[in-house]
Structure 1
Amino acid sequence: MKKQWVALVALCLIFATAFSSSAFAAETIPGGPSTNGKLSYESVIDYEEMIEGLKKIEHASKGKVEVFTLDEYGKTEQGRSIYAAKVGEGPMKIWVQAQIHGDEKLTTGAVMELLKALGKSGNKEVKQILENSTIYAIPMYNPDGSLMNIRQTVLHDEEGNSLNRRIDLNRDWSENGFAAKESLAVYKFWADVKPDYAVDLHHQGFKTVYGTNYSTSMSLGVSLAPNGPTLPGIKDGLYNDLTRQMSVYVYDALKDYGHMHIDRYQVGGGDSKYEIDIRGGVVSAMMLGLNYNNINPTGHSNPAIFFETKGNTRDGGLGQKSNGHLERQNYLGLKALLYGLATGEVQQVDPDRWEEIPAYPLAGYQTDSGIVPVNQ
């Protein structure tokens, strides 16, 4: 009887796991940034493992990958170093950042995989990336939040005591922001680097690709909506084109992989959704050329897009195999984009093909001050 009971429980667990990862289960939760997505702690990289991994990558690369901290600019609220890496010798500078939200952990693994490939691989594509561009990567923007497994960071006083106030680092680059030490440290580094392009890696909740039962594995987004209230007015529309071209290039590179289902990033429920036009986001500040405390006096700016992978680690869940697929899609998307930028192929893309990336009917734009209907 005991053996039968054990077998029955095992069978139930198999069916539960299969159902929870199916497209039908994914339909029940609307999309959005870091909602109720779930993934397993198995195979994710913690802060100490990231440091050890970066050192191994640097050593194996025989000097091609340079690993360093941002200590000269500042540390985290809890006194941890923010690690970065540099690889490549080309004039084009590309910024890659991951895990600005502490519960969005697979993004760090993807950046580590990218650095490993750029440091060791000698294939033609990697050589062109490294000859034509220099990559600046921050694999874990929010170490404190990652260790606490929360979206934000927590402010501390000068004596190291918690103030019990959480700050979303992705909303802390603004004239009235920079409450967290991490934000100012990374902003100062960005202002010194002056990148030409940027990619920001995130997680989102479960949703489905419009008109299908396929669970979205990755959404491609721009924090200032293409053709929306803000982006067409920047640089005479240059970034409005470049961000769409970057997104389409990644979509073309990933869409034919069997386990990847790509769409555009949108928020809201129902049959129509909103695209975000958030001026207070970090990569929005990059595109707007934010000059805080005269740290960026030339008003440097750069176009930026973001990847949103399904799931986060707050509640346990998907399993190691699923984690591997999701981490790899970020790595493949990053590598493709770097190649496209380094070779100029991105700029050859028709930006209007942005409309070919699957999306729900557009109801309007979610802005810092509320919803703007699409017809306005």
Structure 2
Amino acid sequence: MKIVQGIKKPNESFIIKDAVALKEPLVLVFGNRYMLESNQIYDEVNTLFPDGHIVFGTTSGEIIDDNVLDGCVVLTAIEFEKSSILVKRSNVADFHNEDKKLGERLIAEFPKENLKHLFVISEGSTVNGSALIEGLENMENTSFGLSGGLCGDDDRFERTLASYNENPKEGEIVAIGFYGDTLEITSSNYGGWTSFGPERIITKSKGNLLYELDGKPALDLYKTYLGEKADELPKSALLYPLSVKATEDSDPLVRTILNIDEVENTMTLAGDVPEGSRVQLMMSSVDDIANGASYAAELAMGGRKNSPELALLISCVGRKLVMDQRTEEEIEEVKAVVGDNTVISGFYSYGEMAPFSGQDSCKLHNQTMTLTLFSE
């Protein structure tokens, strides 16, 4: 595996570190939405890697090595020497918000034989990540890993962009399939958030749209808890996500709010919030988040046969808001576990995709650090 990385700052060209020639590389380009709106961004990257498979995604912060950047673009180009990749894309507009069907159509484009892992870069503004995952996992007689994340737009929640081999645009979902017997790919996630306050029951919801808690308008209740911070919704919701437990035996999932509808008094969350689920508010601290990142890295490293050569990190924008000027500490914690020889890239997101530890089925998470580790 050969890896080249670069950084582009506003009004500057890419600065490529340790540039070497790569053959048909996978080129991951994560960046600030305003910078990826440039009509020249694809041509600029394509000039650097004319035979590359170029995947773009907007962010709420860019990760490269143990640094967290804002308002920049980070590039990671990977040549797999013994393995192969296949990239496919689709758009939510073509499926009329039927995200499960989109996932089913997308996974059907990937040959089943030797598919080791699917890494997904999804638009993050409107997609129901739970439904998308359910569709992507609808592939019979095949076992493959699934991880990835929802693109971000800092804390603006205006629009997110992604693309494959073209300028980034709205509504895109890009899936990267990894094939090869020599590939070792592991993924994990962990949060570090603590529940508090009364437990309530979801009495009315549809998919990722939340109407009522305990028979009362959910948005009104949430605003009551937020107090003065309610005026800053949906940004302020990142500091107080919801713990959602669908059944007594299920692992709780963390959900953050993507949008609110003042007229309908509803909240749109990044993933499903089933009726009958028990929910609580959550909060965290800088130390809890840093420790959570370290534990996520330990889970990803557990049972690996080989040291990872590449680590793709997707962490939630809510964690970044809590960490503030200490954000890089959670990346440093990850690096301390995966090792100095592992190339690190990634971004801050509106949602993370990974299975719970010890499970095969992928879930949509919020407020977690998610790692996907690669070696050949």
TM-score calculated relative to the size of structure 2? 0.27
Structure number with larger C-alpha Rg: 1
TM-score calculated relative to the size of structure 1? 0.27
The structure carrying a bigger helix percent of its residues is: 1
Q: Which has the higher contact order (CA 8 A, sep 6+)?
A: 1
